[in-house]
């Protein structure tokens, strides 16, 4: 019977140092047996499989503590917790590095444009400072509405619509309108991204019709509910400010009841992110709480009781005139129509006709 492998054999097998193996043993990830007479380590086949798992998890950036927890608890939810956390860390780092890369390109362009008597100028430092500021804004967004706690009761609460504003009275209608507008494109090969997928009520319509749709949300619990309702729905942790996909990935981007959780500055960053992942001839369709303009907001608010004004001010309703100007900078056509007093649907697209149902 084999007595197992010594530490040098294991190190050679995995092309790692013996010190790394000792480190993993010290951290409790490995527990080789010891020979009685000389206390030399002996590694079994089970130890080899365990070390392979450790090295694989380390290769995707999981911390030693996370790996230790996974090895103790290999349940589905525990795996999801650690892998979602790592996904989020990787996505954050990709966005941070992309912003830095963009600022470096701007700095280098400035330097190349200088004459032979080049001197470092303040605007180079400004570019770097703006890059840092952008990363700070992206990383500082917080869910002050606690959607994780709301996830399990969200669908029932929307149906009850107990708030005085009755912002959800046309909830089903808005979701159906967004779906119909995509259907009007007349294409079944679309790759669709829903931002703020929530519990999957809109995504489910597309999934049931055979569309290729992915839903992202910053709330892990919302994603869990969406997956329970629609097991085949692809979901990922993600948000407007740091969409976890490559440039020009999607034909259609949809969103409902989510954009109003971004303040004005964040909205402009989100629009840039949306345009980044949208294909050149792509379409954006959003249903959300909006005002025609800041002036129209004042007109509406001045006739409402203070309690309702405070409820509105707790969110960041969009201004349609500002959205129109922002999207038109990308040479897109902007359309909007009103569903009720506070809910609108906007459509951003190339020059094409939509047949609204």
CATH number, position 278: 3.40.50.150
Indicate if 125 and 178 belong to the same structural domain: no
Distance of CA 194 to the CA centre of its chain: 10
pLDDT of 120 reads 63
| DSSP string computed for 110-157 | HHHHS-TT----HHHHHHHHHHHHHHHHHHH---TT-HHHHGGGHHHH
Give the residue numbers spanning the domain of 243.
147-349
By C-alpha distance, which of 183, 175, 166, 181 is closest to 199? 175
- What is the tally of structural domains in the chain? 3
Q: What are 298-357's pLDDT values in tens digits? A: 999 999 999 999 999 999 999 999 999 999 999 999 999 999 999 999 999 986 555 544
Question: DSSP assignment, residue 2?
Answer: -
Same domain, 264 and 169: yes
Residue at 355 is within a domain:
no
If asked whether residues 64 and 120 sit together in one domain, one would say no
CA gap 31, 22 in Å, rounded: 10
Beta bridge partners of 285: 254, 347
224-229, long-range: CB < 8 A, 24+ apart: 224/151, 225/151, 225/152, 225/154, 225/199, 225/200, 226/197, 226/198, 226/199, 226/200, 227/200, 229/199, 229/200, 229/204
- Residue 357 inside a domain? The answer is no
Same domain, residue pair 267 and 339: yes
Predicted local confidence at residue 119, as pLDDT: 62
What's the CA gap between 215 and 224, in Å, rounded?
A: 12
Provide the 8-state DSSP code for 342: S
Establish if 332 belongs to a structural domain. Answer: yes
- 274 and 174 together in one domain: yes
At 328, phi and psi to the nearest 5? -70, -20
Tens digits of residue pLDDT in 126-139: 888 999 999 999 99
Q: Is the pLDDT reported for residue 1 higher than 60?
A: no
**Complete DSSP assignment for 11-32:** HHHHT--HHHHHHHHHTTS---
Beta bridge partners of 33: 42
Same domain? For 216 and 276 the reply is yes
Is residue 214 domain-shared with residue 232, that is, in the same domain? yes
| Residue 356 belongs to some domain of the structure | no
Tell me, yes or no, whether 260 and 311 share the same domain.
yes
230 within some domain? yes
Same domain, 165 and 30: no
- pTM for the structure as a whole: 0.90
pLDDT of residue 2: 55
Residues 262, 153, single domain; the answer is yes
Residue 268: the pLDDT is 97
Q: Which residue has the higher pLDDT, 45 or 352?
A: 45
- Tell whether 328 and 218 lie within a shared domain: yes
Question: Which CATH number do you get for residue 57?
Answer: 1.10.1660.10
Residue 121 predicted with pLDDT over 70? no
**121: nearest Cα among 132, 131, 106, 136:** 106
For residues 134 and 33, membership in a common domain is answered with: no
């Amino acid at each position: 019977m084999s007595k197992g492998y010594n530490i040098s054999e294991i190190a050679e097998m995995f092309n790692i140092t013996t010190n790394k193996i000792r480190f993993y043993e010290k951290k409790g990830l490995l527990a080789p047996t010891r020979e009685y007479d000389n206390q030399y380590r002996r590694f079994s086949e089970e130890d080899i499989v365990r070390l392979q798992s450790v090295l694989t998890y380390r290769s995707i950036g999981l911390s030693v503590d996370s790996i230790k927890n996974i090895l103790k608890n290999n349940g589905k939810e525990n795996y999801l917790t650690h892998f979602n956390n790592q996904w989020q860390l990787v996505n954050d780092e990709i966005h941070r590095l992309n912003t830095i890369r963009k600022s470096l390109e701007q700095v280098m362009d400035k330097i190349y444009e200088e004459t032979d008597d080049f001197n470092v100028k303040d605007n180079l430092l400004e570019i770097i400072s703006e890059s840092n500021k952008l990363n700070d804004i992206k990383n500082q967004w917080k869910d002050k509405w606690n959607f994780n706690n709301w996830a399990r009761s969200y669908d029932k609460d929307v149906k009850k619509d107990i708030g005085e504003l009755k912002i959800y009275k046309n909830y089903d209608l808005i979701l159906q309108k967004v779906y119909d507008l995509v259907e009007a494109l007349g294409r079944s090969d679309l790759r669709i991204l829903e931002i703020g997928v929530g519990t999957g009520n809109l995504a489910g319509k597309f999934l049931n019709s055979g569309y290729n749709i992915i839903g992202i949300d910053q709330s892990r619990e919302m994603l869990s509910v969406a997956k329970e309702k629609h097991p085949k729905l692809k979901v990922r942790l993600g948000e407007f400010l740091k969409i976890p996909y490559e440039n020009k990935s999607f034909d259609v981007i949809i969103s409902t009841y989510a954009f109003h959780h971004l303040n004005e500055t964040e909205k402009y960053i989100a629009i840039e992110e949306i345009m980044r992942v949208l294909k050149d001839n792509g379409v954006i369709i959003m249903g959300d709480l909006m005002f025609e303009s800041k002036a129209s907001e004042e007109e509406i608010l001045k006739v409402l009781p203070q309690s309702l004004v405070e409820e509105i001010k707790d969110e960041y309703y969009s201004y349609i005139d500002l959205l129109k100007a922002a999207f038109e900078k990308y040479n897109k056509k902007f359309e909007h129509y009103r569903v009720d007093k506070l809910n609108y649907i906007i459509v951003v697209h190339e020059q094409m006709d939509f047949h609204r149902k």
